[in-house]
Amino acid sequence: MCSVGVRVRLRLSVFTALATTLLLTNACGGHYVTRGTALYDDAHYVEAAEVFEQTETRLVSSSNSERARFGLYRGATFLKLGDTAHAARWLGYARGIVKSDPDALDGDDLTLLGASLKALGRAAPDAPERKIESEVATAPVEAVP
């Protein structure tokens, strides 16, 4: 009984932290990619996935840099949640943008992209490495999945 109360309070604390983050980011004029990346950086992967899902439609009017960061962090979030198929799609989306615009991501984000692609290869040991690479390489750049 006591552990249920602790879990409920913990869940409420996470919800409160998410709501506060979203409110502060909106109040400060923060960008939609920043909200998701901040949640990812704080290891709030489920919440980050929700933010990315809710803001995906904004990609149409976004710069290459914003689209690449969105794809990178959405893919990395899926990877942390164990969804390798969606991770491959979004990491491929980010990689495709970087291939056409090498300045779309900064050094730290390029490092995360490389590490995430390597982790993706390790996360699916039953799938041949070439298959994962081809899925990532053929992920659409213009069309958002």
Q: Average pLDDT for residues 63-83, to the nearest whole number?
A: 96
Asked whether residue 23 is domain-assigned, the answer is no
Asked whether residue 26 is domain-assigned, the answer is no
Q: Are 92 and 136 in contact (CB under 8 A)?
A: yes
Mean pLDDT of the chain: 78
Per-residue pLDDT of 116-143, as tens digits, reads 999 998 886 554 444 544 455 444 444 4
- 89 CB contacts (<8 Å, ≥6 apart)? 75, 135, 139, 145
Asked whether residue 16 is domain-assigned, the answer is no
Domain range for 42 is: 31-137
Q: Average pLDDT for residues 93-106, to the nearest whole number?
A: 96
Q: Residue 111 and residue 135: Cα distance in Å, rounded?
A: 20
- 76 CB contacts (<8 Å, ≥6 apart)? 40, 87, 91, 112, 116
Please say if the pLDDT value at position 98 is more than 90: yes
Instruction: Give the per-residue pLDDT at 108.
Output: 96
Asked whether residue 57 is domain-assigned, the answer is yes
Instruction: For residue 55, count CB atoms less than 10 angstroms from its CB and return exposed for 0-12, middle for 13-18, buried for 19 or more.
Output: middle
Please say if the pLDDT value at position 1 is more than 60: no
Q: How confident is the model at residue 8 (pLDDT cuts 50, 70, 90)?
A: very low
The CATH number of residue 116's host domain is 1.25.40.10
Asked whether residue 54 is domain-assigned, the answer is yes
Per-residue pLDDT of 9-65, as tens digits, reads 545 555 555 555 544 444 333 388 999 999 999 999 999 999 999 999 999 999 999
User: Total structural domains in the chain?
Assistant: 1
DSSP count for the chain of H helices, then E strands: 7, 0
Instruction: For residue 67, count CB atoms less than 10 angstroms from its CB and return exposed for 0-12, middle for 13-18, buried for 19 or more.
Output: buried
Asked whether residue 5 is domain-assigned, the answer is no
Alpha carbon dihedral 5, 51, 122, 69, in 10-degree steps, equals -150
Instruction: Give the per-residue pLDDT at 7.
Output: 53
Look up the pTM and report it.
0.69
